[in-house]
Amino acid sequence: MRNSSKTPKLAAALAVLTALLVAAPARTQSGASKKNLPWMNASLSADRRADLVLEQMTLDEKIQLVHGTGWGVLRDGDPVPPRSNLGAGFVPGIDRLGIPDINLADSAVGVRMAALESRYATLLPSALGLAATWDPEAAFLFGSVIGRELRDQGFNMSIGGGVDLAREPRNGRTWEYAGEDPLLAGTIVGQLSKGVQSQKVMGDIKHYAVNDQETGRDILNAVIGKRALRESDLLAFEIAITTAEPAGVMCAYNKLNGDFSCENDDLLNQVLKKDFAFKGWVLSDWDGTHSTKKAVLNGLDMEMPGDEFLGPALKKAIDNGEVPLARLNDMVHRILRSMFAVGVVDDPVVPRRVTDPFRGREDSEQIAEKSMVLLKNAGALLPLSASEVRSIAVIGSHADVGVLSGGGSAQVDAPGGNAIDPKPGTAEWQQPVYFPSAPLRYLRKQARNAKVDYDPGTDPARAAALAKSSEVAIVFVNQYMTEGRDNETLSLPDNQDALVHAVAAANPRTIVVLETGSTISMPWLDDVKAVLAAWYPGIGGAQAICNILFGEVNPSAKLPITFARSEADLPHPEIQGMQLVKKAEAEHRSVPSFDVTYTEGIQVGYKWFEAEKKQPLFPFGFGLSYTRYSYSGLKVDEKQRQVTFTVKNTGSRPGGEIAQVYAQLPSAAGEPFKRLVAWERLALAPGESKTITLPLTPLYLSIFDEQKDAWSLLPGEYKVLVGPSSADTPLAASLRIHD
C-alpha cells in the first residue's frame, strides 16, 4: 500500500534535500524587476491577472505548474530544486514572469517538519478539539497561527483543512477532522482556512471526499447515495469551501461510487466546480493520481507530489489532441488566479522571521481552554480548590512529562524532541509523540498547599495504592491515533480501563482526564466522579487542563461527535474491510479493492442514534459547565426565517454557553432525526440573560432532491428545537414553510 512505502521514500528524499540545502543558493526569487509586468497591477482582478500571465506562457511552463517535483527529486540523479523549502510538496515558479514557487506544507494542527531546519512550530489542539469550541473566531485564530508560522518559515501554501465527516469514530484521522455534523465541521474548517489565508498563505481543504477511514484508504470504494452524500459529507465541504474560498482542494485517495476521487467527474467537475462554484485548483493527495486523460478531463488540476501522469504524459496528450489545450489553460488559470487572489504573488514569502513561540503558545492555550469538554462532574467535585486540596495522586499517560499528540502527516515536531522514548517497531511518522507541556508541573504549581505525587499507571495496583493515600486522584488516559491505520476498537489501549477501575475503587474522588483522538467507551464511568475530555490539547495543554480543573477557566466546550457506549451501537460494529486488509498484510499480498458501503447514509453520528433510538454514552452537543443556564422565550419568525430566544446564566460563575438550534423536517422528507441548523456561543455573567436571534438558513433546512439534482426546501411543518445539546432541547416551536 502506498502509505506504507511513504516513509522510506520520504526519508531518503529528505536526506538528499538536507544535504543539498547546505550548499543551496539563497532562496529568494528575483522579483524586483518584475514590478512593471502588466499582471503585477494589483488593481486588476485575480482572473484577469491570471489570463495575462497565461498568454505569455509556453507549453512547458504550463506543464511545469501542474505537478510537483516529487518527494525530493523526481527521478534518481535529477537535480534537487534549490528553492524547495522541505515541505510535503514543491512546484517551481516561472521566474521570468515573476510567478513565485509554491512551497506546500502539511499543517493540520501546526506546521509539519519544522525540525528539519531547526525551525519551531506551534502545536495547536486537535482539529476535533477545535470543533468542540463551536467557535468560528477560535477557528479563524487557529488558522491564522498556522498561516503566520508557515509564512515565517517560507511556505506559501497549507495542506491542512481536513473536513471529512466522522462517520467512523475509529478512523485514525478523526482528530484531524472537525466531527460528525456538516454544519459545525464546515463552519469550523471554513473559518480555519480563512484564518490561514488571512496571512496571505494559500489554504487547502481535504480529503475530497468520503476518506472516512484509513483501512484500505487508497483502494477502497466508498459507496453512498447521492442525496446522503450531498446532505452530509459534501455539505461539510460545500460550507467550508464557500466560506473560505481556499486556493486548493485536495482530492482523496479512495474511490467514490466507482471512480477514484482524483478522476471523478461527478465529484470534481459537477459538484465542486459547477455546484460549489469553486475557483481554485484540485490537487491530488500524495500519489493519489491514477491517470492522465481521465483525471484531467474529470477535473484534476495538479498532480502531487510528482509528475508520473501530469508531466511529460500530459504534454504528450496535449500534443496529440487527447486533452484540449483549453483544459490545460483552465488548470493553470486556476492555480495562478488563486496565487493572485490570496496575495502570494504581491507579497511573496521571505523566510527571514523567527517564529514567535510565546505568541503561538498563548493562542494555542486559549483555544485549548475553549475546547475541553467536561463530561461528568458528580457532586460538583470540580473545580478543585487550589488552597484547600492537601494531596493529589497524578496517574498515567506520561503526565509527568507532557501531553499526547496525533501521528502521521499532521504531526508537528515537538520542541526538544519527543518527551517519551520512541515505541520500538513503530515507523517514525506514526510514533506517539508527547509535547513538553507537563500536567504534573502545572498541577504542582496550582495546588500550592498540596503534596502532588505521580505514578505512571503501568501497574494498576501500585497506582491504586497512591490514589488511596491521596485526597484526590487524577488519572490521565490516552487513545493514540495516527494516519495510515484505524483503531480497531473504542476501548482505551494498554489496560487503561483496568487502571481507572483500580484507582476509582481506591479513591472515591477520582477524576479522569482524556487525551484522545476520538471517542472512547468508558466501562468505569459510573465509578468515577469527573471526566474531562482534553482531546490532544496542544502545546498549552497542561496549563489549559489545570486551569479548568481548578476553575480558573469555566469549561464551555461541547461535543462535536457522539460518544457511543460501544462498537455494537455504531452503524458498522466492525471497520469495513479491516479483516480483509489484515489478512492480506499477514500473507504479504496486495489487497484487492473493496466496497465500503455507507448503509447509514445521511444518518451520521447523532442522526443515527436518534433514528435508531439508541442511547449514546454522551450525546452530540453535550458539555457541562461550573455554572447553570436556563432557556426561555422561543419565537419563530416565519417571514424572516429566524428564531429568537433567551439564555440566562442562573449560577454564580461567569461562563460561556453554546446554545444550539435543531430542526426536524416535515415527514415528507423521510428524515426521522433532527439536524443542527444554527448555534451561538454566548458569554454570560452570573445572573445575566441574553436574547439572541439566529437565522434559519434555507440550505440547512433543505433536502437534496436526486431527481431534480438540486436542493429543495420542502413545504410543510418544521419543528424547531432549542437547547444546550442534541439530547436536551427544552424549547420547541414550529415553522411553516409555504409552497
Min dist CB 290 to ligand BGC, Å, is 15
Beta bridge partners of 485: 482
Supply the minimum distance, in Å, between the C-beta of residue 104 and ligand BGC.
8
Q: How far is the CB of 262 from ligand BGC (least distance, A)?
A: 12
Return the CA Rg of the chain. 26
481, amino acid identity: M
* Residue ranges that bind ligand BGC, judged by CB under 6 A: 3, 88, 106, 159, 206, 285-286, 409
If the CB atoms of residues 71 and 142 are measured against ligand BGC, the closer one turns out to be: 71
Indicate the DSSP class of residue 238.
Answer: H
Instruction: Give strand pairing partners of 288.
Output: none
Q: Shortest Cβ distance from residue 124 to ligand BGC (Å)? A: 16
Q: Which three cell numbers stand for residue 664?
A: 426536524
Minimum CB separation of residue 105 from ligand BGC in Å reads 9
Residue with smaller CB distance to ligand BGC, 238 or 285:
285
Q: In the Cβ-directed half-sphere of 511, how many Cα atoms lie within 13 Å?
A: 25
CB of 88 to ligand BGC, least distance (A): 4
- Which residue carries 521566474 as its cell? 95
Kindly state the greatest CA–CA separation across the chain.
Answer: 81
CA distance 633 to 372: 29
Instruction: Identify which of 608, 714, 703 has the alpha carbon closest to the alpha carbon of residue 226.
Output: 703
Task: Tell me how far, at minimum, the Cβ of 408 lies from ligand BGC, in Å.
Answer: 7
Nearer to ligand BGC, 305 or 540 (CB): 305
Cβ closest to ligand BGC, residue 427 vs residue 714: 427
Bridge-based pairing of strands 403-404 and 281-284 is: unpaired
* Three state DSSP letters for 264-296: CHHHHHHHHHHHCCCCCEEEECCCCCCCCHHHH
CB of 110 to ligand BGC, least distance (A): 14
Whole-angstrom distance, CA of residue 473 vs CA of residue 162: 36
CA distances from 212 to 168, 177, 278, 580 (A): 6, 10, 22, 17
Single-letter amino acid, residue 609: F
CB of 583 to ligand BGC, least distance (A): 23
Residue among 142 and 608 whose Cβ is closer to ligand BGC: 142
Distance CA 702, CA 11 (A): 48
Rank residues 304 and 464 by Cβ distance to ligand BGC and give the closer one: 304
With beta carbons less than 8 A apart as the criterion, state whether 269 and 217 touch.
no
Q: Smallest distance from the beta carbon of 241 to ligand BGC, in angstroms?
A: 17
DSSP state of 256: E
Nearer to ligand BGC, 219 or 401 (CB): 219
Give the residue with the Cβ less far from ligand BGC, 206 or 337.
206
Cα separation of 612 and 605, whole Å? Answer: 11
Q: Considering the complex, state which of residue 6 and residue 62 has its C-beta at the smaller distance from ligand BGC.
A: 6
Question: In the chain, what are the helix, strand and coil shares in percent, each to the nearest 5?
Answer: 35, 20, 45
Distance between CA atoms of 173 and 188, rounded to whole angstroms?
A: 17
Distance in Å, CB of 161 to ligand BGC, minimum? 10
CB of 419 to ligand BGC, least distance (A): 24
Q: Which is nearer to ligand BGC, 406 or 724 (CB)?
A: 406
The grid coordinates listed for 671 are 428524515
Q: How far apart are CA 356 and CA 358, in angstroms?
A: 6
> Residue 369: which of 588, 619, 554 has the closest Cα?
554
Of 427 and 692, nearer to ligand BGC (C-beta) is 427
Residue closer to ligand BGC, measured from CB, 162 or 571 = 162
Helices then strands (H, E): number in the chain?
20, 27
Burial of 67 (0-12, 13-18, 19+ CB in 10 A): buried
Task: Please identify the residue of the shown chain whose CB is closest to the bound ligand BGC.
Answer: 409
